[in-house]
């Protein structure tokens, strides 16, 4: 009998211990890995786990709150979770989906969000819940490494009954692109108010009242600055944008480059406030290796604890160049900007010096994107010769990747090929959003060894364009660049490629040009013989010839371009022609099959409408996309719509003229 009581006591103690532990567990979970302020009243915190993600939303309302996910910035098709705390302090959480923008999110028959915690205080409603990356429910969206559009919705009132009929009007809604899985850990909320830990020093690299030229929609502004006056090596461990309030719309990206060259030239340049970049009469500086880069939508970058960017007055560069890409599509007048970057550095050195390797297509007219196509794939190569010469036997570790295209970019991948085997992509985004460019932190560093061949692969949609788009640095031109942060630092800095001239001609269906003829005349194939190059380009039928164009650009030869941090071409890599790597073992993506599930929730069985699930709903399908945008509130960060191209035939002629002029000059 005594024993039994003792046992009871032990069991009781055990349970209360377990309870206490659970409580501690919940409390310690407050170390969130990620946070984002969605609007001034809506904070989301989350931590990606092995199989699921734990979210907490803290919303300044006592009504209902909701968070959801879609692939584009519309609410229709969104997978949503709606919750509230009712007058009896009972917490409600419902897995729903948006089928019709004019109606409330409807209940899913399978409830896949799990409530962990919920409460309401005088000002806020707080809900904590988890869900699996792939819930196996067609109503839910898989959370992947892709860019996700996060949508939110909240209201001052809560539903009148547990069934959750939402108040008819007055919901606040928004959406914003975010990486949920590979987001770089953002500063904790307490650190948000620009408090800098005492061990960190600040280096502000700012523009000085740059005046955007009237009537011009793009300005590339370059300013040279000297490094802070330090006497020994430091590590930059974090950087962030400093944007003049209200000027966000004019900033497209900012990149800080390391400069090499004569100190006197650099010193002179640093005394100026800057100038338009890459002007023929601008001082020629060798500023090519990237030190820091910020793009639209990003909040900055934190280096992982094992690495930092070295600032070394003795062996490193002493001058840097800030390149700011301004954009002014509405041609606003009298814009004068002083934005820039803030770098935080410390003398408490980390184990490794980090470097940035940029892989892609050299921004050049030979990168051609035909108009009116749903998918155009372009590839830039970092060949085995370049990695072979520069990467040590022990390899380098890539830990973060940022992708960069202009407005037509839809998918981007950084592929890795080793000894004719294609490994899983280092990074991949099948839902890339050109208006959200930010470093993605890889879950674990990826090794790159000497002899690896890297491919930056960009997929564009040119349906909005009636004319060819060429590669280049202005916003209307396109790029395909991927920058990867890695350690330990090596000499290789830019690893690009450029389609060869024969590849360009072949992609346009031309086999041979007549030697020395003016205007340039085609000699082969026979059916084009005698035609001028201009006639050919004017009448090129992309509709019928797109596939052969794509095939020719994919298989054609290219010129590899490998530069070191000093802007010098690496020896023995200056070959004219390189080929697509041989891939004997291609990479195959494996998707785990989903287990069929049964509805668990009584409410959802009553209110769920699954009649339409007989045909699987693909949120990307044309039907889903065809639904009217309705009266949805669009986010601050929304896809900028491209206006119709004005003077399009002039543009065609201009780009054709450019191509012809360049081909002619090369042939001479």
User: Any contact of residue 354 with ligand NAG (CB under 6 A)?
Assistant: no
Binding to ligand NAG, residues 489-548 (CB under 6 A)? none
3-state secondary structure of 641: coil
3-state helix, strand, coil in the chain (%, to 5): 15, 35, 45
Q: Which is nearer to ligand NAG, 144 or 532 (CB)?
A: 144
Q: Which is nearer to ligand NAG, 51 or 668 (CB)?
A: 51
Stretch that binds ligand NAG, among 8-16, 118-126, 593-601, 623-631 (CB under 6 A): 118-126
Structure tokens at 314: 């003795």
Using an 8 Å Cβ cutoff, are 97 and 78 in contact?
A: yes
User: In angstroms, what is the minimal distance from the CB of 338 to ligand NAG?
Assistant: 8
Instruction: Convert residues 214-253 into a mask of x (bound to ligand NAG by CB under 6 A) and - (unbound).
Output: ----------------------------------------
Stretch that binds ligand NAG, among 120-128, 217-225, 463-471, 620-628 (CB under 6 A): 120-128
User: Any contact of residue 169 with ligand NAG (CB under 6 A)?
Assistant: no
Out of 181, 386, 456, 482, which residue is the one contacting ligand NAG (CB under 6 A)? 181
Q: Which is nearer to ligand NAG, 76 or 484 (CB)?
A: 484
Out of 11, 19, 24, 160, which residue is the one contacting ligand NAG (CB under 6 A)? 160
Q: Which is nearer to ligand NAG, 190 or 626 (CB)?
A: 190
User: Any contact of residue 587 with ligand NAG (CB under 6 A)?
Assistant: no
Q: Which is nearer to ligand NAG, 133 or 587 (CB)?
A: 133
Q: Comparing C-alpha atoms, which of 65, 168, 174 is closest to residue 113?
A: 65
Helices (H), 247-324: 263-271
User: Any contact of residue 123 with ligand NAG (CB under 6 A)?
Assistant: yes
Stretch that binds ligand NAG, among 24-32, 116-124, 360-368, 410-418 (CB under 6 A): 116-124
State the maximum Cα–Cα separation within the chain, in Å, rounded to a whole number: 111
Stretch that binds ligand NAG, among 117-125, 163-171, 199-207, 374-382 (CB under 6 A): 117-125
User: Any contact of residue 17 with ligand NAG (CB under 6 A)?
Assistant: no
User: Any contact of residue 145 with ligand NAG (CB under 6 A)?
Assistant: yes
d(CA 166, CA 150): 20
**Angle, alpha carbons 527-533-536 (nearest 5°):** 55
Instruction: Convert residues 86-105 into a mask of x (bound to ligand NAG by CB under 6 A) and - (unbound).
Output: -x------------------
Q: Which is nearer to ligand NAG, 84 or 436 (CB)?
A: 84
d(CA 258, CA 355): 11
d(CA 608, CA 107): 5
Q: Which is nearer to ligand NAG, 62 or 295 (CB)?
A: 62
Q: Which is nearer to ligand NAG, 211 or 555 (CB)?
A: 211
Out of 133, 449, 542, 587, which residue is the one contacting ligand NAG (CB under 6 A)? 133
Instruction: Convert residues 247-286 into a mask of x (bound to ligand NAG by CB under 6 A) and - (unbound).
Output: -------------------------xx-------------
How buried is residue 493: exposed, middle or buried, by Cβ count under 10 Å (0-12/13-18/19+)? buried
Q: Which residues make beta-bridge pairs with 324?
A: 221, 254
User: In angstroms, what is the minimal distance from the CB of 142 to ligand NAG?
Assistant: 8
d(CA 399, CA 93): 37
Out of 209, 394, 548, 575, which residue is the one contacting ligand NAG (CB under 6 A)? 209
- Which 3-state string (H, E, C) describes 172-208? EEEEEEECCCCECCCCCHHHCCCCCCCCCEEEEEECC
Out of 144, 430, 431, 651, which residue is the one contacting ligand NAG (CB under 6 A)? 144
User: In angstroms, what is the minimal distance from the CB of 89 to ligand NAG?
Assistant: 11
Binding to ligand NAG, residues 33-62 (CB under 6 A)? 58
User: Any contact of residue 397 with ligand NAG (CB under 6 A)?
Assistant: no
User: In angstroms, what is the minimal distance from the CB of 610 to ligand NAG?
Assistant: 26
- Sort strands 355-361 and 492-499 into parallel, antiparallel or unpaired: parallel
d(CA 493, CA 489): 9
User: Any contact of residue 443 with ligand NAG (CB under 6 A)?
Assistant: yes
Structure tokens at 171: 């919901």
d(CA 109, CA 95): 8
Binding to ligand NAG, residues 355-394 (CB under 6 A)? none
User: Any contact of residue 121 with ligand NAG (CB under 6 A)?
Assistant: yes
Burial pattern 142-177, b for ≥16 Cβ within 10 A else e, equals: bbbbbbbbbbbbbbebbbeeeebebeeeebbbbbbb
Q: Which is nearer to ligand NAG, 160 or 667 (CB)?
A: 160
Q: Which is nearer to ligand NAG, 271 or 596 (CB)?
A: 271
Q: Which is nearer to ligand NAG, 170 or 424 (CB)?
A: 424
Q: Which is nearer to ligand NAG, 87 or 229 (CB)?
A: 87
Burial pattern 599-628, b for ≥16 Cβ within 10 A else e, equals: eebebbeebbebeeeeeebebeeeebeebe
Backbone torsions φ then ψ of 283, nearest 5 degrees: -60, 135
Using an 8 Å Cβ cutoff, are 84 and 161 in contact?
A: no
Using an 8 Å Cβ cutoff, are 149 and 620 in contact?
A: no
d(CA 19, CA 512): 79
- Sort strands 409-418 and 421-429 into parallel, antiparallel or unpaired: antiparallel
How many positions of this chain bind ligand NAG (CB under 6 A)? 18
Stretch that binds ligand NAG, among 119-127, 373-381, 429-437, 650-658 (CB under 6 A): 119-127
Q: Which is nearer to ligand NAG, 145 or 358 (CB)?
A: 145
d(CA 368, CA 549): 10
Using an 8 Å Cβ cutoff, are 258 and 287 in contact?
A: yes
Structure tokens at 177: 């692109």
Q: Tell me which residues touch ligand NAG (CB under 6 A).
A: 58, 87, 121-124, 126, 133, 144-145, 160, 181, 208-209, 272-273, 424, 443
């Amino acid at each position: 009998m005594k024993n039994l009581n003792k046992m009871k006591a032990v069991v009781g103690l055990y349970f209360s211990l377990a309870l206490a532990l659970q409580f501690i567990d919940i409390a310690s979970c407050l170390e969130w890995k990620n946070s984002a302020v969605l609007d001034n009243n809506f904070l989301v915190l989350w931590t990606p786990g092995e199989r699921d993600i734990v979210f907490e939303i803290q919303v300044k309302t006592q009504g209902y709150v909701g968070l959801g996910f879609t692939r584009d910035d519309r609410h229709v098709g969104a997978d949503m979770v709606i919750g509230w705390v009712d007058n009896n302090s009972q917490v409600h959480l419902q897995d729903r989906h948006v089928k019709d923008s004019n109606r409330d999110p409807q209940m899913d028959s399978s409830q896949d969000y799990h409530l962990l915690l919920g409460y309401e205080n005088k000002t806020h409603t707080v809900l904590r819940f988890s869900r699996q990356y792939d819930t196996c429910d067609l109503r839910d969206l898989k959370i992947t490494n892709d860019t996700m559009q996060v949508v939110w919705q909240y209201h001052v009132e809560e539903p009148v009954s547990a069934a959750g009929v939402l108040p008819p009007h007055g919901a606040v809604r928004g959406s914003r692109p975010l990486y949920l899985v590979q987001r770089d850990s953002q500063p904790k909320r307490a650190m948000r108010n620009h408090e800098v830990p005492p061990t960190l020093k600040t280096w502000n690299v700012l523009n000085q009242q740059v005046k955007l030229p009237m009537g011009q929609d793009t300005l590339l502004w370059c300013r040279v600055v000297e490094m802070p006056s330090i006497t020994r090596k430091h590590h930059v461990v974090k950087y962030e944008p400093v944007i003049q309030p209200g000027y966000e719309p004019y900033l497209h990206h900012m990149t800080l480059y390391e400069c090499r060259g004569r100190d006197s030239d650099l010193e002179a340049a640093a005394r100026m406030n800057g100038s338009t970049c890459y002007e023929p009469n601008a001082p020629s500086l060798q500023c090519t290796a990237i030190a820091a880069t910020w793009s639209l939508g990003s909040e900055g970058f934190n280096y992982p604890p094992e690495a930092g960017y070295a600032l070394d007055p003795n062996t490193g560069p002493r001058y840097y160049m800030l390149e700011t890409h301004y954009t002014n599509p509405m041609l606003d007048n009298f814009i004068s900007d002083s934005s820039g970057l803030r770098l935080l550095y410390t003398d408490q050195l980390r184990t490794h010096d980090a470097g940035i390797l940029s892989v892609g297509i050299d921004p050049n007219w030979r990168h051609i994107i035909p108009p009116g196509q749903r998918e155009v794939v372009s590839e830039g190569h970092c060949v085995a010769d370049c990695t072979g010469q520069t990467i040590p036997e022990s390899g380098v570790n890539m830990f973060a990747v940022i992708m960069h295209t202009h407005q037509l970019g839809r998918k981007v991948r950084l592929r890795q090929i080793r000894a004719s085997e294609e490994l899983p992509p280092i990074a991949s985004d099948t839902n890339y959003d050109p208006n959200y460019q930010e470093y993605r932190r890889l879950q674990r560093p990826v090794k790159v060894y000497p002899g690896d061949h890297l491919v930056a692969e960009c997929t564009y949609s040119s349906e909005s364009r009636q004319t060819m788009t060429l590669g280049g640095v202005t916003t209307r031109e396109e790029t395909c660049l991927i920058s990867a942060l890695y350690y330990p630092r090596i000499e290789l800095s830019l690893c690009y490629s450029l389609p060869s001239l024969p590849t360009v001609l072949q992609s346009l269906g031309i086999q041979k040009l007549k030697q020395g003829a003016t205007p340039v005349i085609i000699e082969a194939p026979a059916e084009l013989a005698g035609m001028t190059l201009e006639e050919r380009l004017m009448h090129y039928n992309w509709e019928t010839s797109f596939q052969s164009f794509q095939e020719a650009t994919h298989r054609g030869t290219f010129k590899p371009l490998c530069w070191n941090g000093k802007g010098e071409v690496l020896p023995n890599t200056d070959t004219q022609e390189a080929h697509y790597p041989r891939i004997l073992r291609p990479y195959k993506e494996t998707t785990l099959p989903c287990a069929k599930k049964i509805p668990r929730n009584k409410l959802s069985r009553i209110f769920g409408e699954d009649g339409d699930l007989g045909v699987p709903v693909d949120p990307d399908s044309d039907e889903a996309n065809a639904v009217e945008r309705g009266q949805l509130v669009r986010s601050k960060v929304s896809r900028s719509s491209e206006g119709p191209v004005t003077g399009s035939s002039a543009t065609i002629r201009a780009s054709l003229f450019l191509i012809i002029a360049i081909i002619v000059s090369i042939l001479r």
